[in-house]
Amino acid sequence: MFACDGLIDITGTDVAKDYRSKYDTAAGSKKVLGEEGLNKIITDIMQNLNVEEIDKNFAERGDLVLIDTPRGDALALINMRGRVTGQGEFEAVDYPLESVIKAWGVK
């Protein structure tokens, strides 16, 4: 929810409203996301909000990105330094730009 909370601050839109408070563990999130998984769900949500998917190499500050992490796919944001920041196990952490799978231009 880290990246989704950031999107609320940036856009005022809660892309995760249908998923909030429905899980509190990684296993619970997988159950809620079901067979489709995060990639399909976030792609559908962003399309419904008319947020354009962009080339991941052109993601910039404030853009939402889907990243590959050791614990599976996750959402993150491009931070003020142009780095990828997402939720780690206990705190926000930076991930390598190479971990980006997809990106959406958030205005």
Amino acid at 70: P
Report how many domains make up the chain: 1
Average pLDDT of the residues in 76-100: 92
Higher pLDDT, 101 or 8: 101
At 48, list the tokens.
Answer: 């419904």
Report the range of poorest mean pLDDT among 24-33, 65-74, 84-93: 24-33
- pLDDT value at position 16? 76
CA dist 72 → 27, 60, 101, 106, 107 (Å): 11, 23, 12, 23, 27
- The structure's pTM equals 0.78
Amino acid at 55: D
Encode pLDDT of 14-65 as tens digits: 877 877 776 676 676 667 666 667 777 788 888 877 889 999 999 999 999 9
At 87, list the tokens.
Answer: 């939720």
Domain around 28: 2-104
